Amino acid sequence: MQPTLRTARLTLTACSAKDVEQLRALWNEPQVREFIFDDEPVSLQRTQELVKGMLDLAPRGLGLWLMRETNGETLAGCVALLQPDSLAAIEPQLPAGSELMIALHPNSWNRGMATEACRELIGYAFDDLRLERLIAGVDTPNIASAKLITALGFQPFSHRQGPKYPLQIYTLDNTK
C-alpha cells in the first residue's frame, strides 16, 4: 500500500476514487494537459479509468499521490510512480523501471514544490520499495520539466518521437 509521504512543506496522500473530480480539474488545466495529455481534454470517464489504474498499482506501493501544502486543502498537484507502458511502446530499448510523473497546478509553479515532492518520492522508491531504476519521459518543448528531471539527477537515455512532441527519455539508477 502507498504510505502518506511528508516533506517540510508538503503532504503527499495516496489517490482514492473520491479524488476523481479534483484530478480531472487539475489535468484539464491548459498548462497541465498540454504536455501530460498532449493538450487533449480529459473526460470524466478517462479520469476514472486512470484513477482505477493507479489504484490497481497501490498493493505494490506504486500509484498516484495528491500533493497539498501541509495543513492546506488546495490541491497543488500530483506525483506518481507508474508502470512505463506508454514509454515502452515508444522506446523498445527501455530498461526495466518505474516511471516518475508529476503534474503541478500553475498556481504552484516556481515555488520548489515539484523538486521537493519528487525528491521525497524518489527516496521512497529507492529506500522503501528498493526499485532499481526510475524512468521519466519529457516532451522536449517542456523546458521546465527537463530542468527539473536533470536537477533530480536523471540522465538522458534516448530521444524519440512522442504522440505529439519529440520526447526525451531519462533514467535514474538506484546507487544505494
Give residue limits of the domains in the chain. Answer: 5-173
pTM: 0.95
What mean pLDDT value characterizes the chain? 95
Q: From CA 51, how far away is CA 1, in angstroms rounded?
A: 15
The packing angle between helices 143-151 and 113-123, to 10°, is 40
pLDDT of residue 1: 83
Section 135-163 average pLDDT:
96
DSSP state of 35: H
pLDDT of residue 103: 97
| DSSP assignment string, 61-106 | T-EEEEEEETT--SEEEEEEEE--HHHHHH-TTPPS-EEEEEEE-G
pLDDT of residue 84: 87
Cell numbers linked to 60: 505494490
- Asked whether the CA dihedral 139, 36, 113, 83 is positive or negative, the reply is negative
Strands (E), 114-161: 133-139, 155-161
pLDDT of residue 130: 97
pLDDT of residue 135: 97
Q: From CA 35, how far away is CA 142, in angstroms rounded?
A: 7
Cβ atoms of residues 31 and 107 within 8 Å: no
**Could you read off the pLDDT of 13-33 as tens digits, one per residue?**
999 999 999 999 999 999 999
Cell numbers linked to 71: 495543513
Confidence check: pLDDT of 40 > 90: yes
CATH fold for the domain made of 5-173: Aminopeptidase (3.40.630)
**Can you name the residues that pair with 100 across neighbouring β-strands?**
81
Cell numbers linked to 159: 530521444
